[in-house]
Amino acid sequence: MAKMGHIEKYNYIGLCVFLKIANPMQELHMKSRFQLVTGFLFALAITFLFSLGSFAGEPASIKLPDPQKNAGKPVMAALNSRMSSRTFSGEKLSLQTLSNLLWAAFGINRSDGKRTAPSAFNRQETDIFVVTADGVYIYDAKNNALDPVLKGDVRAMTGTQGYVKSAPVILVYVADYSKVQGGSADSQLTVGADVGVIAENVYLFCASQGLATVVRGAIDKDELAKTLKLRPEQKIILDQPVGHRLG
Ligand SMILES: Cc1cc2nc3c(=O)[nH]c(=O)nc-3n(C[C@H](O)[C@H](O)[C@H](O)COP(=O)(O)O)c2cc1C
């Protein structure tokens, strides 16, 4: 049988139970209508309960609104106000702003799947983990969605400096070295450069929208990697809090 997701599996189990109970339909004269109806309701209830159970404890995937590509200051004005800011108002970013931010960072801007930031050999090895007060997600550029990683507020784990908890969103740049194999000896440098250009996209987006951001290397990477349940080939390179300016 092809690999099934939780819901399909539970629907399948529900269907089997239903068929088991309703099978005697062929001998309709033998069974009362009451037995068939209760069997059907029982199967429906099992399907529903199992479907509910499959969501318990898992944050759902979030579909982002389409990014708005014509908002904000032009690039020269954004360059003129680009700066690092370490104070944030704490106000949440709207889903629209988050979509715009992530698209500016490393969204797909061409029909061949290439991105708003370049990457060496077009490896696209950087995953952006989006850490919020509600939980952690991975940006899925192809589907313009946030895929859940874990529930709960782990913003305090994303940096060793005091201001770290105050930003509503922290983008954690994680390089997947399984996509860099076969590269030259200076792959390490290109991985860093690939993250650097994403970070600059975020700086320019923030400058253009009047948001605050700072790129950070002061991270306890081992602890954060454990928190994010990273595989050994996934390495945290930098992270970048983003939020509304204070005042
Ligand atoms: C690779 C890199 C790592 C950085 N790490 C930190 C950091 O851990 N904490 C921090 O507050 N700022 C960090 N910064 C921001 C710099 O301190 C900042 O860019 C510098 O002071 C110049 O200020 P400006 O960005 O406003 O021009 C980092 C910048 C870069 C490029």
Domain at 62-244, CATH from 3.30.1330.40, 3.20.20.80, 3.40.109.10, 3.40.718.10: 3.40.109.10
221 lines ligand 1 (CB under 6 A): no
What pLDDT, on a 0 to 100 scale, did the predictor assign at position 46? 43
86 lines ligand 1 (CB under 6 A): yes
Q: How many CA atoms lie within 13 Å of 144's alpha carbon, on the beta-carbon side?
A: 16
- Looking from the CA of residue 219, the nearest atom of ligand 1 is 8
84 lines ligand 1 (CB under 6 A): yes
Q: Distance from the CA of 20 to the center of ligand 1, in angstroms? A: 65
Does the pTM surpass 0.85? The reply is no
Q: Distance from the CA of 1 to the center of ligand 1, in angstroms? A: 52
Confidence bin at 90 (pLDDT 50/70/90): confident
C-alpha–C-alpha distance, residues 195 and 119, integer Å = 8
Q: Distance from the CA of 109 to the center of ligand 1, in angstroms? A: 28
What pLDDT, on a 0 to 100 scale, did the predictor assign at position 247? 75
Q: Distance from the CA of 215 to the center of ligand 1, in angstroms? A: 6
Are 163 and 84 contacting, i.e. CB atoms less than 8 angstroms apart?
no
pLDDT at 26 over 80: no
82 lines ligand 1 (CB under 6 A): no
Q: What is the DSSP string of 33-79?
A: HHHHHHHHHHHHHHHHHHHHHHHTT-PPPEEPPPPPSS-S--HHHHH
C-alpha–C-alpha distance, residues 190 and 139, integer Å = 21
193 lines ligand 1 (CB under 6 A): no
83 lines ligand 1 (CB under 6 A): yes
pLDDT at 204 over 60: yes
Across the chain, mean pLDDT equals 83
What pLDDT, on a 0 to 100 scale, did the predictor assign at position 187? 83
Kindly state the average pLDDT of the residues 176-187: 80
Q: Distance from the CA of 92 to the center of ligand 1, in angstroms? A: 23
